[in-house]
Structure 1
Amino acid sequence: MAAAGGSVLNQVAEALGASEPALKLILSIFLGYPLALFQRYFLYKKEPSHIHLFNTVTGLGIAYFNFGSQLYHSLLCVVLNFLILRLMGRTITAVLTSFCFQMGYLLCGYYYTATENYDIKWTMPQCVLTLKLIGLTFDYYDGGKEQESLTEEQKRFAVPGVPSLIEVCGFSYYYGGFLVGPQFSMCSYLKLVRGELTDVPGQRPNSIGPAMNRLCLGLFSLVIYTVFGPHLPDSYFLTDEFANQPFWYRCAYIPIWGKVILYKYVTCWLVTEGVCILSGLGYNGKDDTGRAQWDACANMKVWQFETTPLFTGTISSFNINTNAWVARYIFKRLRFLGNKAISQAAALFFLAIWHGLHSGYFICFSLEFLIVIVERQAVELIRDSPLLSHICSIPLLRPVIYVLQQCIHWLFMGYPLIPFCLFTWDKWLKVYMSVYFIGHVFFLLLLFALPYLRRVLVPRKDKQKSQ
């Protein structure tokens, strides 16, 4: 029966132009909607242990459907992390042990399963689980500290009680976030189980409308990727046909490809966000007008992603919960270093190695670090220069400047994605050579030119005072 089912799925996948693992993944993500409806109408305000058991069993079922017996990897990490919490308690030793074990296990998985292509395998949900379990250990550690020593953010996520094994399993395998995220805290999960994440206290949340909204956006992104993705394959970069195209064509292909390729991730995140909203996990309190907010599990700010002309704007609107996790548990925890640039570089290094061991990930995030530094300097220059500020404020020039910004923005947003998607140095190096390292040259020139331009265009304070 399993073989026949696999054969049918394989035939359907081939008809759709996809792989069987990709079809299983998308089916599993959409399966979250009937599961969330079941939890809403049959488990809301029921015994917490029943809800934990439901989330554990459904999550394990999804893991088995996608990865078969390899689900033991996640189960082993969940159980061992629970034992770390219980045996080591609220200590820095527990935090370091959890961090080293979970990251070490993930990196070993990357090493032993690595290929030169993007494969959907057990390491995909494992990387999501790794952050979840490390974050739980940090929050459990914070729960044992004096309240005065914690920041407001740490107080919000600190776990005061001792989680049971069934709680840790339910938290880890919750069907709305097991495969591709989003990240959420144990505190949020326990509030969901207790029925506290609702805009109407004591009743089921009015979340069906907001959930359907994200589902529709996810389906729209899926259509875009399905229609245009096959015409813009990563492999085209490595063909002689691409290498023989005019230089302008090669440069134009990069931003268009980069924009479309991201819709693959946008689709998954929007669909899973809808599942979280439907179950109630997406509830984020009410705004100043009393309107319910459903963005607690948002991994995308769609409008900002589509309209921002800034690199930092795109970064802050994309994979939000993962970026927030890294900021909370890596960047801010390195505050003792006393250097923001070092902390930021360490956070980006962690992101790179968390994605995998291929050189492409490290090149991608190092380029992102360079781009962010240059953009911040450019924004500060425009802000502080009377001449540039005046030019940018002219109403007739604003549309022209915006279009120019978007062209530069997407050319150099797609540029770091090349190594991210091609993985190995021989592939991404070939592509960068074909466009003469235009991104590297552009941003390195700006990095050295912006300080000089600042001296020329920004009046010195002593001159301003004398005037």
Structure 2
Amino acid sequence: MPWIVLAFVMGHMSINHITRQLINDPGLVDITGAQMILVIKLSSFAWNVADGRIADKNLSSAQREKAIRQLPGILDFTGYVLFFPSLHAGPAFDYMDYKRWLENTVINAPNDKDYAAKTGQKKNKHPQSLVPALRKGASGIIWILMFMKLSAVYYPDFYLGDEYLALGFLRRVWNLHMLIFTSRLKYYGVWALSEGACILAGYGYDGIDPITGKASWNRLRHVDPIGVETAQNTRAYLGSWNINTSNWLRNYIYLRVTPPGKKPGFWASMATFATSALWHGFYPGYYFTFILASFVQTAAKKCRRYFRPFFLDPQTSNPTVLKPYYDILSFLVTQATFSFVTAPFVFLTLDSSLKIWSGLYFYGVIGTALSTLFFESPATEYLERKLAIRAGTKKPIISRTKSSESASEPVIGIPAIQEEKIKDLLQDIKMDVTKN
């Protein structure tokens, strides 16, 4: 049943995506943005209902928490689906989170009791939300004002003209980065305003921050602007963007297409990629971005895995004196690469996307291809030996950090193209051939 629901809502939205693309009139009201949020809500609701009919022992802890054991009434259901503060731009959320907010039982953090004792508030009463809501709303207004100011300077039509191509290469890279930054500002603004509206309604409370001892309102956080703009690696960049959509893709696509007891493999990543791409629409620019980002994510993970240890003390893992230079270089490469990768997301069409990339000599494509070839060469063995000598060990040991391991999971539908998954694919094909 959940797959039927997903197919129906995705199919209905796809019709509107195609209609909007064919009409191509910016003056018309576009409903696909709100419909994208509804797809997340309705498909996740279907999975939660299905989980509610499965024994707890066969569910993960996250699935048990979200499982719907009893169908809601029509009023509660429509209230969830059409929750106004997040109706048009998100963030999307699961029904059980909405129900806990509705019943005022969302306050369940372990240290809420201590907080209630200090503040004199009842444990089942939300902390005051006006100030954090106003703070979030003010940040949204600031982002939008910045967008209005910068969009008059950095606008897409300029980049398709001869004046842009007449600039030097570094100027073109910088100008493209500013265009992509300006494009992100409108999302920062809209998402901050919608999140602030949710907080004002008392939705978004996430317990007490154990460090500050203050109430946290990040339950519905959809984007971390500072995290995106200061990211030094792909994981930090992608993990700070469209957070709730990433959670939906991971929990309801990536993990659901994987048979119970098995590890997600190549097909799970491809299914996630396809779902994310279709969810966004059918402009060629979306697919350029997603496909290239898949290879960028893999190449960047290997760069971090093989080069970062040279800037850490092999015994204590503390940063060396050269570590700041590595951080600066990785920041510049990450930002420049993703400005190139996400450019088609702004220009959308095939011709304009290729024109922008060609005007930059395809540096993102070439750099990613060279990195991929480099790590498929004997150079990796050389780096492993150097790291082993540096660490004083006989065997080449490359430790996997939590960050690098988690990077194998798709972020916003971008799967990492890994050797293990290619092997899984070949094994699956071999089994299919054997059966036939």
What TM-score bracket applies, with the shorter chain setting the length? 0.7 to 0.9
Structure 1: gaps spanning 5 or more residues? 1-93
CA distance in 1: counterparts of 2:137 and 2:395, whole angstroms: 60
Q: Provide closer, same or farther for how the CA distance between residues 466 and 180 of structure 1 changes in structure 2, counting only shifts above 3 A.
A: closer
1:455 corresponds in structure 2 to 381
Kindly provide the CA deviation profile for residues 221-242 of structure 1, in whole angstroms up to 9, marking residues without a partner as x. 1122111122111222211211
Question: CA contact under 8 A between 1:353 and 1:361: conserved in structure 2?
Answer: no
Out of 79, 90, 100, the position equivalent to 1:170 is 79
1:74 corresponds in structure 2 to none
**Amino acid in structure 2 at the alignment position of 1:153:** A
Name which of structure 1's ranges 275-284 and 112-121 shifts more when overlaid on structure 2.
112-121
Does residue 233 (structure 1) correspond to residue 155 (structure 2)? The answer is yes
Q: Provide closer, same or farther for how the CA distance between residues 121 and 195 of structure 1 changes in structure 2, counting only shifts above 3 A.
A: same
2:90 corresponds in structure 1 to 181
Question: CA contact under 8 A between 1:188 and 1:281: conserved in structure 2?
Answer: no
CA distance in 1: counterparts of 2:166 and 2:226, whole angstroms: 37
Q: Helix, strand or coil for the counterpart of 1:464?
A: coil
Name which of structure 1's ranges 450-459 and 139-148 shifts more when overlaid on structure 2.
450-459
1:464 corresponds in structure 2 to 393
1:34 corresponds in structure 2 to none
TM-score (norm 1): 0.74
CA distance in 2: counterparts of 1:245 and 1:256, whole angstroms: 15
**Amino acid in structure 2 at the alignment position of 1:309:** Q
1:315 corresponds in structure 2 to 238
CA distance in 1: counterparts of 2:126 and 2:395, whole angstroms: 66
1:375 corresponds in structure 2 to 300
Aligned-residue offset at 1:274:
1.0
Out of 335, 338, 358, the position equivalent to 2:258 is 335
Aligned-residue offset at 1:109:
0.9
Aligned-residue offset at 1:374:
0.8
CA distance in 1: counterparts of 2:346 and 2:29, whole angstroms: 14
CA distance in 2: counterparts of 1:402 and 1:302, whole angstroms: 19
Question: CA contact under 8 A between 2:37 and 2:88: conserved in structure 1?
Answer: yes
Q: Provide closer, same or farther for how the CA distance between residues 161 and 339 of structure 1 changes in structure 2, counting only shifts above 3 A.
A: closer
1:41 corresponds in structure 2 to none
2:139 corresponds in structure 1 to 217
Name which of structure 1's ranges 436-445 and 305-314 shifts more when overlaid on structure 2.
305-314
CA distance in 1: counterparts of 2:127 and 2:83, whole angstroms: 18
Does residue 208 (structure 1) correspond to residue 118 (structure 2)? The answer is no
Does residue 100 (structure 1) correspond to residue 25 (structure 2)? The answer is no
Aligned-residue offset at 1:416:
1.8
2:203 corresponds in structure 1 to 281
Alignment of 1:93-172 (within 5 A): 94-115=1-22, 120-172=29-81
Name which of structure 1's ranges 187-196 and 351-360 shifts more when overlaid on structure 2.
187-196
Aligned-residue offset at 1:286:
3.1
Aligned-residue offset at 1:389:
4.0
By percentage of residues, which structure has more helix? 1
CA distance in 1: counterparts of 2:395 and 2:305, whole angstroms: 23
Question: CA contact under 8 A between 1:255 and 1:412: conserved in structure 2?
Answer: no
Question: CA contact under 8 A between 1:311 and 1:372: conserved in structure 2?
Answer: yes
Question: CA contact under 8 A between 1:374 and 1:443: conserved in structure 2?
Answer: yes
TM-score (norm 2): 0.79
Out of 364, 371, 387, the position equivalent to 1:439 is 364
CA distance in 1: counterparts of 2:104 and 2:311, whole angstroms: 53
**Amino acid in structure 1 at the alignment position of 2:393:** Q
Question: CA contact under 8 A between 1:349 and 1:362: conserved in structure 2?
Answer: no
Kindly provide the CA deviation profile for residues 187-238 of structure 1, in whole angstroms up to 9, marking residues without a partner as x. 1111222222356434354111221221122122112211112211122221
CA distance in 1: counterparts of 2:37 and 2:150, whole angstroms: 28
Structure 2: gaps spanning 5 or more residues? 113-121, 397-436
CA distance in 1: counterparts of 2:312 and 2:123, whole angstroms: 50
**Amino acid in structure 2 at the alignment position of 1:433:** S
Kindly provide the CA deviation profile for residues 281-338 of structure 1, in whole angstroms up to 9, marking residues without a partner as x. 1012334466432111000223322322112201101111111111110111123374
Name which of structure 1's ranges 394-403 and 184-193 shifts more when overlaid on structure 2.
394-403
Out of 342, 350, 354, the position equivalent to 1:425 is 350
Alignment of 1:14-93 (within 5 A): none
RMSD: 2.5
Aligned-residue offset at 1:142:
0.5
Q: Provide closer, same or farther for how the CA distance between residues 433 and 302 of structure 1 changes in structure 2, counting only shifts above 3 A.
A: closer
Aligned-residue offset at 1:412:
1.0
Aligned-residue offset at 1:439:
0.4
Q: Helix, strand or coil for the counterpart of 2:88?
A: coil
1:190 corresponds in structure 2 to 99
Alignment of 1:344-423 (within 5 A): 344-383=269-308, 387=310, 389=312, 395-423=320-348
**Amino acid in structure 1 at the alignment position of 2:93:** F
Question: CA contact under 8 A between 1:197 and 1:280: conserved in structure 2?
Answer: no
Does residue 306 (structure 1) correspond to residue 232 (structure 2)? The answer is no
Question: CA contact under 8 A between 1:218 and 1:266: conserved in structure 2?
Answer: yes
Q: Helix, strand or coil for the counterpart of 2:255?
A: helix
Does residue 264 (structure 1) correspond to residue 186 (structure 2)? The answer is yes
Aligned-residue offset at 1:394:
6.0
Name which of structure 1's ranges 173-182 and 230-239 shifts more when overlaid on structure 2.
230-239
Kindly provide the CA deviation profile for residues 331-352 of structure 1, in whole angstroms up to 9, marking residues without a partner as x. 1112337443442333122111
Q: Helix, strand or coil for the counterpart of 2:257?
A: helix
**Amino acid in structure 1 at the alignment position of 2:146:** I
1:293 corresponds in structure 2 to 216
Aligned-residue offset at 1:181:
0.4
**Amino acid in structure 2 at the alignment position of 1:248:** L
CA distance in 2: counterparts of 1:150 and 1:389, whole angstroms: 40
Aligned-residue offset at 1:248:
2.4
CA distance in 2: counterparts of 1:249 and 1:220, whole angstroms: 27
CA distance in 1: counterparts of 2:193 and 2:364, whole angstroms: 33
Aligned-residue offset at 1:120:
4.9
Q: Helix, strand or coil for the counterpart of 1:284?
A: coil
Q: Provide closer, same or farther for how the CA distance between residues 346 and 301 of structure 1 changes in structure 2, counting only shifts above 3 A.
A: same
1:82 corresponds in structure 2 to none
